[in-house]
A and B are shown apart, each in its own frame.
Chain A
Amino acid sequence: MLLENRPRITNLWSKVVDGENGEWLSRVIVESTRPYEYTLKEVNGSILLECSGAEINMPEGKLEINDGLLREINIAQTGHDTVRVQLSLDHPAMFKHAVYKEFPSRLVISLDRLFITGLLSGKKIVVDPGHGGKDFGGRGQVSLLEKDVVMPIANNLEKILKKTGAKVTLTRSGDKDISGEERATLALNVNADAYISIHTNASADNSVVGAATLYAPHDNGSEKLAIYIQEEIVKKLKVRDRGTAGQPGLARMDKGIPAVEVEVVTITNIVEEVFLRGLTIQERAAEGILNGLIKYFAFDRLNAKGDKK
């Protein structure tokens, strides 16, 4: 059947990868039954792939990516044998591409994530896995404890932040009971550019679901940071948006440090407790927080007090 038809685009996907030469890349892969003619160019902050002599063999429309650089990909059949693939970016990026004429044929576009590393490199971020020790925080209906599950999320966040060149300090690395004052002192001692405390929501009503981000009650960018993180975490996790709110408990933080408390989902809901056990959601929660930080430092540098010494 393939012999009788034009090349057909069967799959389109994206992944953040390390390049062969140590670059950090957002990679887009367009798979097709055979190679086709194409042009690739940058247009108004988007990257446009125009394919000729090809047909789509997958759903047309939008694929949400949200990797901090690449927001979404749109694919459309624009004529009987022409296809347009549009990569919409949140930030500028250099790109290169290659075609692999194997089976299936692959057109690979690699976007350099230099803008993100440029933005975050050297930033001092304090990541606080909430609770610890005797203070276990929220508890799931089965058995999961908040103090345990925030740890892998914090470790994932540390890992991807280090990838950007940020200087990361964790408030705890084991199951230790640390006071709020100690956490605030640590953030002050490292002169943090941002303080991210990771939590889960807990509710007596076990039908309550979703994510929320709380912020320090200072006029120092904390609210803006919370709004960005909340937007991005909801996009990443596809969970209910419980919004943002002030958190009086963060008042102890130094007024120069934007500080937020991210409640990634609600541990007391049975579905979200199971979500939290999964490695995927633990990674995605960290990615959502990173995306919020990228937006904050990209759009609110002044609020962030940018490059602290």
Chain B
Amino acid sequence: MIAGRISIRTHIITEKDDIADVVKQYTGKIASPGDIVAIAESVVAISQGRAILPDVVKPGILAKILCHFPGKEGSLAAPPSIQVAMEEVGTARFLLGVAAAGLGRLIGRRGDFYRVAGRQLALIDDFAGTMWPFDRHIVLGPKDNQKVVDRIKQVTGVDAVITDINDIGKVDILAATDGVDEEALTSYLKDNPHGNDDQQTPIVVLVAPENMQKINAAAQQGEENDLNK
């Protein structure tokens, strides 16, 4: 399904950017119909203005108490992030998630908090969870994901997916244009081509086999031409 991929470094994307225009700017001379453009969920969210500075959040007593419970290495470690999460899904649902997580722990099961409180909470990046200069922000998950990928396809003519990939190889496709084989894509993205701190590449072009054949043939032709010079 995928024969190669190109990771593209971009400028620092902010809420002033239109993500479809950004994708067109960086992939316009690279991607062809048949290819798929993968976009990291955090930059989609940032372009939607979903990065929040802690100064504008007033954590309530519940958030201040609950911050002592989750694993501190993951998201939602600080009261402002918990407050934002509670506002995202509603306090009642959030508390149901907390109760489910507590019961889950008793029987040695993990993941009940997000199953009950909402998967979108797993997309929240606490401070330091996103690259500079957004490392002092709480970054929510993106919204209207299907609309975003459909618009990217409309603007670029290329299929698109929004990805959430972590460093331990967990891949979630949050939205995909029609016809994309999400399951096949998941295994192909496990090594996180969006990169870590050293190579921030929020856009990745996944090249279709038929396009790769043409690229290889053209490259071979180019080498032969060079030899004949």
User: Which residues of A line the B interface, CB within 8 A?
Assistant: 1-5, 8, 10-15, 29, 31, 33-34, 55, 57-59, 103-104, 141-144, 238, 270-271, 273-275, 277-278, 280-281
Within 8 A of A (CB), among B196-229: 197-199, 201, 207, 211-212, 214-215, 218-219, 222
- State the 7 A-B residue pairs at the shortest beta-carbon distance, nearest first: A13-B199, A274-B127, A103-B4, A58-B9, A59-B11, A1-B32, A278-B128
Do B30 and A2 touch across chains, with their CB atoms under 8 A apart?
Answer: yes
Kindly state the separation between the CA atoms of A11 and B9 in the bound complex, as whole angstroms.
5
Kindly state the separation between the CA atoms of A273 and B215 in the bound complex, as whole angstroms.
49
**Which residues of B lie under 8 Å from residue A141 when comparing CB positions?**
78-79
Given the interface pairs A2-B215, A142-B67, A142-B78, the reply to whether A104 lies near B4 with Cβ below 8 Å is yes
Do B8 and A271 touch across chains, with their CB atoms under 8 A apart?
Answer: no
Do B77 and A142 touch across chains, with their CB atoms under 8 A apart?
Answer: yes
Given the interface pairs A270-B54, A275-B135, the reply to whether A10 lies near B127 with Cβ below 8 Å is no
Do A57 and B72 touch across chains, with their CB atoms under 8 A apart?
Answer: no
A11-B8, A15-B198, A103-B6 known; 11 new pairs, CB 8 Å cut-off, are: A2-B211, A11-B6, A11-B199, A12-B9, A31-B6, A33-B30, A57-B26, A103-B4, A142-B79, A274-B126, A274-B128
Do A8 and B195 touch across chains, with their CB atoms under 8 A apart?
Answer: no
CB of B97 closer than 8 Å to a CB of A: no
CB of B80 closer than 8 Å to a CB of A: yes
A-B contact pairs, 23 of them (CB 8 A): A1-B32, A2-B215, A3-B215, A3-B218, A4-B29, A8-B30, A10-B8, A11-B8, A11-B201, A13-B198, A15-B198, A59-B9, A103-B215, A104-B4, A142-B72, A144-B72, A238-B132, A271-B128, A271-B136, A274-B77, A274-B127, A275-B135, A277-B77
Checking A13, A57, A58, A280 against B128 with a beta-carbon cut-off of 8 angstroms, the contacting residue is A280
The proximity string for B residues 1-39 relative to A, scoring 1 for CB distances below 8 Å and 0 otherwise, is: 000111111110000000000000010111110000000
**Which residues of B lie under 8 Å from residue A11 when comparing CB positions?**
6-9, 199, 201
Do A10 and B128 touch across chains, with their CB atoms under 8 A apart?
Answer: no
CB of B181 closer than 8 Å to a CB of A: no
Kindly state the separation between the CA atoms of A74 and B136 in the bound complex, as whole angstroms.
26
Kindly state the separation between the CA atoms of A154 and B150 in the bound complex, as whole angstroms.
49
Rounded to whole Å, the gap between the CB of A66 and the closest CB of chain B is 12
Of the candidates B54, B68, B72, the one having the most CB atoms from chain A within 10 angstroms of its own CB is: B72
Rounded to whole Å, the gap between the CB of B182 and the closest CB of chain A is 23
Q: Taking CB as reference atom, which chain B residue is nearest A75?
A: B9
Do B32 and A2 touch across chains, with their CB atoms under 8 A apart?
Answer: yes
Do B197 and A33 touch across chains, with their CB atoms under 8 A apart?
Answer: no
Kindly state the separation between the CA atoms of A34 and B30 in the bound complex, as whole angstroms.
11
Do B9 and A10 touch across chains, with their CB atoms under 8 A apart?
Answer: yes
Q: Taking CB as reference atom, which chain B residue is nearest A143?
A: B68
CB of B144 closer than 8 Å to a CB of A: no
Kindly state the separation between the CA atoms of A249 and B80 in the bound complex, as whole angstroms.
36
Kindly state the separation between the CA atoms of A54 and B132 in the bound complex, as whole angstroms.
29
CB of B87 closer than 8 Å to a CB of A: no
Q: Taking CB as reference atom, which chain A residue is nearest B80?
A: A270
Kindly state the separation between the CA atoms of A141 and B30 in the bound complex, as whole angstroms.
48
Do B78 and A274 touch across chains, with their CB atoms under 8 A apart?
Answer: yes
Do B7 and A31 touch across chains, with their CB atoms under 8 A apart?
Answer: yes
CB of B73 closer than 8 Å to a CB of A: yes
Q: Taking CB as reference atom, which chain A residue is nearest B133?
A: A238
**Which residues of A lie under 8 Å from residue B126 when comparing CB positions?**
274
Given the interface pairs A31-B6, A143-B68, the reply to whether A1 lies near B30 with Cβ below 8 Å is yes
